[in-house]
A = this chain, B = another copy of it.
Amino acid sequence: MKFHTEYLTMNVPQRFQIVHITENVNSALKKSGIREGMVLVSAMHITAGVFINDLEPGIMEDIEEMLEHLAPYGPNYRHHRTGEDNGDAHLKNILVGHQVIIPITAGALDLGPWQQVFYAEFDGRRKKRVVIKVMGE
C-alpha cells in the first residue's frame, strides 16, 4: 500500500470565499503514482469546509446566500464569550462538512463530468491548511 501526503496552505483575504482546488488534488494524485485507491481532502480547521460541486460562479453565490441565511455572520453566538467573532464560521463548517473522499480508478480521480473540488473559507484573513492524503496501490 502506498501513501502520499501533501498540505495546501490557503490564505484567503476575505472572510467568506470559495476556492477551486481540483488541480491541487490532481497534482497530488500524479505525484503519488497511485492507480487504484482514494484521496482524502480535508480542511485542518474548524472554520472552513471542503465540498464537491459544479464550477459555476452563480452556485458559489447561492451557497454563500444559503449559509448566511442558516448561520448568519454577526449575531451574538455563545462562542463569542471567548472573545472570538466567528461563531457563524463554526456552524457553516458543520453544515457543509470539512472533507471529501474521491475514488481513484485507473490512475485518475473517478469524478462525474461536472464534479469539482472546492475549499470553503468561512473566516479568512489568516493562513489555514488542507491535507490531501492519497492512499492505494
A residues lining the B interface (CB < 8 Å)? 1, 3, 5, 36-38, 40, 42-46, 51-54, 56-59, 61-63, 65-66, 70-71, 77-82, 87, 90-91, 93-103, 105, 110-115, 128-129, 131, 133, 135-137
**Known pairs A112-B45, A133-B38; A99 contacts B96 (CB<8 A):** no
B54 and A46 within 8 A (CB): yes
Nearest 9 pairs of A and B residues by beta carbon: A44-B112, A58-B78, A58-B79, A103-B133, A3-B36, A61-B78, A46-B53, A46-B54, A62-B77
Residues from chain B with a CB closer than 8 A to the CB of A65 are 78
In the bound assembly, the distance between CA atoms of A93 and B110 in angstroms comes to: 18
Asked whether, in the complex, the Cβ of A77 is within 8 Å of the Cβ of B91, the reply is no
Contacts of A128 in B (CB 8 A): 112
